[in-house]
């Protein structure tokens, strides 16, 4: 698969996948919190407080995982770039060179500062403005992933286009996947609490998320096609290269997620509004929580595929 052919390369894939997933989740949950949960749960204070407390706990866990996997990524990048074994790289000054003299290292320093600002915003979450500053830091943390991968090494004007497309791509990935996790959490919280008019709350939240979902999916698709156009370049390269075939696996998973999203939008969400049959409403909420969880699991598998995709020579380079 790549020049390493060794455990460093495998660990790099695992660490990148974990980092992408945790960082994307942070942005998605904070977007959902401000764009969906706050307006939808305005009239249900208790459900809103419980959702917020649980959502913030998940954001904290994801932030710790994102920082830890980010540091592991830097440590693994040293042997990956130098060709030394992990032990040799740890004993040499390569890490210093990676951190201070490579684009990856310099971007990682900026990303660490963004993570610290985000943590400060989460600590002072009740202060005015910190929710928005926290969201902006989270968007910067996920968007800057684009500068660490293939998009960061495309030269010239095409490079600017590639960076814009990839930044939109990872932010949209966060909004959709983190949003799915938040919706599943909101469904579970309201299902357990069953506050007055809870099915209406769920219907309102699901409708609002559906709009966010459509915008995220459209952005993912268009930016994904741009990414693929730049890094694959032809149908032939898509079909005959390792990179191309792995991208086909990714797109297939994406299509399955879209089918589940269509089920949510055209069957389950309308069923939530059928106040004549409370049993059907409850059933729809349970099914919605299940399909959101399956979609989320497929999204996490896509992050694993992307963990590998960024370590392979793009098809158009072969």
Nearest distance from C-beta of residue 49 to ligand HEM, angstroms: 30
Q: Which of 127, 114, 77, 124 is nearest to 98 (CA)?
A: 77
List Cβ neighbours of 116 (8 Å cut-off, separation of 6 or more).
none
Residue among 44 and 151 whose Cβ is closer to ligand HEM: 151
Question: How far apart are alpha carbons 39 and 42 in whole angstroms?
Answer: 5
List Cβ neighbours of 18 (8 Å cut-off, separation of 6 or more).
65, 69, 307
Chain residue whose CB lies nearest ligand HEM: 224
| DSSP for residue 6 | S
Residue among 105 and 201 whose Cβ is closer to ligand HEM: 105
User: 159: exposed, middle or buried (C-beta count within 10 Å: 0-12, 13-18, 19+)?
Assistant: middle
Q: Please list the alpha-helical segments (H only) found in 33-155.
A: 38-40, 45-82, 86-91, 94-101, 103-123, 130-143
Answer positive or negative: Cα dihedral of 80, 83, 85, 86: negative
Nearest distance from C-beta of residue 243 to ligand HEM, angstroms: 7
Nearest distance from C-beta of residue 149 to ligand HEM, angstroms: 3
Give the footprint of ligand HEM on this chain (CB under 6 A): 20, 145-146, 149-151, 166, 169-170, 173, 176-177, 220-221, 224-225, 227-228, 231, 247, 250-251, 254, 257, 299, 302, 306, 309-310, 314
Answer positive or negative: Cα dihedral of 186, 300, 139, 54: positive
Nearest distance from C-beta of residue 172 to ligand HEM, angstroms: 8
Residue among 37 and 306 whose Cβ is closer to ligand HEM: 306
Residue among 44 and 180 whose Cβ is closer to ligand HEM: 180
Residue among 182 and 199 whose Cβ is closer to ligand HEM: 182
Q: Which of 161, 138, 136, 137 is nearest to 151 (CA)?
A: 161
Question: How far apart are alpha carbons 156 and 162 in whole angstroms?
Answer: 10
Question: 235-267 b/e with 16+ CB inside 10 Å = b?
Answer: eebbeebebbebbeebeebbeebeebbeebbee
Nearest distance from C-beta of residue 184 to ligand HEM, angstroms: 15
Residue among 18 and 272 whose Cβ is closer to ligand HEM: 18
Nearest distance from C-beta of residue 119 to ligand HEM, angstroms: 22
Nearest distance from C-beta of residue 145 to ligand HEM, angstroms: 5
Residue among 115 and 260 whose Cβ is closer to ligand HEM: 260
Nearest distance from C-beta of residue 32 to ligand HEM, angstroms: 15
Residue among 95 and 170 whose Cβ is closer to ligand HEM: 170
């Amino acid at each position: 698969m790549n020049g390493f052919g060794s455990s460093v390369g495998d660990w790099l894939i695992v660490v990148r996948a974990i980092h992408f997933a945790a960082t994307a989740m942070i942005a998605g949950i904070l977007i959902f919190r401000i764009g969906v949960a706050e307006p939808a749960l305005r009239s249900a204070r208790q459900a809103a407080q419980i959702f917020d407390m649980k959502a913030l706990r998940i954001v904290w866990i994801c932030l710790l995982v994102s920082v830890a996997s980010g540091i592991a990524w830097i440590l693994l990048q040293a042997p990956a770039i130098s060709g030394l074994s992990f032990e040799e790289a740890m004993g040499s000054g390569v890490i210093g060179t990676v951190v201070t003299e490579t684009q990856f290292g310099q971007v990682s320093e900026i990303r660490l500062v963004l993570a610290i600002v985000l943590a400060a915003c989460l600590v002072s979450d009740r202060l005015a403005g910190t929710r928005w500053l926290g969201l902006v830091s989270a968007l910067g943390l996920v968007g800057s992933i684009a500068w660490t991968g293939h998009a960061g090494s495309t030269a010239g004007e095409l490079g600017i286009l590639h960076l814009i497309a990839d930044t939109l791509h990872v932010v949209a990935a966060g909004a959709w996947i983190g949003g799915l996790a938040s919706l599943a959490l909101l469904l579970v919280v309201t299902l357990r609490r069953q506050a007055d008019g809870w099915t209406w709350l769920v219907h309102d939240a699901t409708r609002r998320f559906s709009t966010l979902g459509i915008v995220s999916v459209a952005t993912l698709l268009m930016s994904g096609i741009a990414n693929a156009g730049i890094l694959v370049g032809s149908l032939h390269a898509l079909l005959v290269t390792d990179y191309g075939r792995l991208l086909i696996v990714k797109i297939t998973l994406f299509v399955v997620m879209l089918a589940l999203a269509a089920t949510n939008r055209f069957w389950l969400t309308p069923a939530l509004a059928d106040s004549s049959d409370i049993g059907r409403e409850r059933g729809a909420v349970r099914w919605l929580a299940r399909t959101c969880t399956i979609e989320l699991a497929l999204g996490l598998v896509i992050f694993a595929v992307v963990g590998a995709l960024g370590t392979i020579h793009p098809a158009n380079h072969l």
